[in-house]
């Protein structure tokens, strides 16, 4: 909010949130990471509460880097480098001469492309600040691995296990924004064709003609709030590659406000199916992501 409104009280709140974020982190053998404050069961593995994972850790890291522009950088950059060490030393599944792949969570062998690419994007951003070429090289090898796994039509399946063979909307958005961020932070455009092919597939197969974000390339329902929020973020991030990005963005926002927002109670619904709407006000999955996407849009339109 401070980046949008530039008001002192929002910076003060951001600093308080930073302190809470640091309290929620988990020290690891080589650094620090973030997990969820509840145990959870994925299809491929079980995760106890607070065990750090790639997704939560890199989003925490990006938030810290955003905040570092507005307060003393030394303390924040020290934490960010600890996150980078956690990724480098505890989340690399395998490494070859020109490729490597990050794990979603330490000790588990499932290959998930959005986790791999999000790790690469974060390390490339840290490289852009610290100049640590080792981080750029690691990021490049991770990107190369997932680019090689991209289908000829531009799509990525979620992961490489047999039960991970779907192509969904918001994880594709993760992949595309991560690829773009790698390119932006390293000035390395060798994977640009992959980015363009992936974006072309995404726009043609993950949205209806009325700009509703489909759940996967094969089915529209359920309409999921996270698909809307990531579509907004993808449009803002990839605007150099979308000639009509403002039209796309406005239609997505119009649809989410019309179909997924409760005007009386002021929150966003979780999902709509053909037959009913799940109106549970999930904080992490719905409210936080829509807050993030809409404030990011406000900031982008101010530029």
Give 102's contacts (C-beta < 8 A, 6+ positions apart): 54, 87, 91, 92, 93, 115, 116, 119, 120, 142
What's the pLDDT score for residue 197?
Answer: 98
CA dihedral 243, 253, 13, 80 (to 10 degrees): -50
Q: pLDDT in tens for each of the 303 residues of the chain?
A: 556 556 677 888 888 999 999 999 999 999 999 999 999 998 778 899 999 999 999 999 999 999 988 887 888 999 999 999 999 999 999 999 999 999 999 998 999 999 999 999 999 999 999 999 999 999 999 999 999 999 999 999 999 999 999 999 999 999 999 999 999 999 999 999 999 999 999 999 999 999 999 999 999 999 999 999 999 999 999 999 999 999 999 999 999 999 999 999 999 999 999 999 999 999 999 999 999 999 999 888 776
Cα distance between residue 276 and residue 287, in whole Å: 20
Cα distance between residue 91 and residue 103, in whole Å: 5
Give 154's contacts (C-beta < 8 A, 6+ positions apart): 194, 197, 198, 199, 200, 201, 202
Start-end of H helices in the chain: 2-5, 8-24, 54-68, 73-90, 113-130, 133-149, 169-186, 192-205, 225-237, 245-259, 288-302
Query: pTM for this structure?
Result: 0.95
8 Å CB contact between 150 and 194: yes
What's the pLDDT score for residue 11?
Answer: 84
**In which residue are the tokens 């904080």 written?**
283
Read off the DSSP letter of residue 157. Answer: -
What's the pLDDT score for residue 3?
Answer: 62
Cα distance between residue 125 and residue 129, in whole Å: 7
What's the pLDDT score for residue 266?
Answer: 96
Cα distance between residue 181 and residue 120, in whole Å: 9
Region of 95 (left: φ > 0; alpha: ψ -120 to 50; beta: rest) is: beta
Cα distance between residue 255 and residue 236, in whole Å: 17
What's the pLDDT score for residue 63?
Answer: 94
């Amino acid at each position: 909010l401070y980046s949008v409104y530039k008001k002192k009280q929002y910076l003060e709140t951001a600093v308080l949130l930073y302190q809470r974020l640091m309290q929620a982190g988990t020290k690891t053998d080589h650094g620090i990471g973030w997990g969820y404050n509840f145990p959870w069961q994925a299809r491929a593995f079980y995760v106890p509460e607070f065990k750090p994972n790639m997704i939560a850790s890199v989003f925490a890291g990006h938030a810290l880097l955003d905040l570092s522009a507005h307060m003393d950088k030394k303390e924040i950059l020290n934490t960010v480098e600890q996150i980078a060490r956690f990724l480098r030393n505890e989340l690399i599944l395998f490494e070859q001469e020109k490729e490597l792949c990050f794990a979603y969570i330490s000790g588990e062998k499932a290959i998930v492309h959005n986790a791999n690419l999000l790790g690469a994007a974060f390390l490339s951003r840290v490289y852009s600040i610290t100049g640590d070429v080792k981080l750029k090289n690691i990021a490049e090898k991770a990107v190369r691995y997932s680019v090689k796994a991209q289908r000829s039509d531009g799509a990525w399946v979620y992961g490489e296990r047999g039960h991970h063979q779907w192509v969904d909307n918001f994880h594709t958005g993760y992949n595309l924004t991560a690829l773009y961020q790698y390119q932006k932070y390293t000035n390395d455009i060798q994977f640009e064709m992959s980015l363009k092919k992936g974006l072309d597939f995404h726009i043609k197969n993950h949205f209806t003609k009325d700009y509703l974000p489909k759940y996967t390339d094969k089915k529209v329902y359920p309409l999921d709030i996270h698909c809307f929020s990531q579509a907004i973020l993808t449009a803002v991030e990839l605007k150099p590659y979308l000639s009509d990005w403002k039209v796309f963005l406005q239609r997505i926002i119009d649809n989410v406000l019309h179909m997924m927002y409760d005007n009386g109670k002021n929150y966003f619904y979780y999902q709509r199916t053909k037959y009913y709407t799940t109106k549970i006000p999930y904080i992490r999955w719905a409210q936080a992501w829509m807050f993030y996407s809409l404030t990011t849009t406000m900031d982008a339109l101010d530029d």
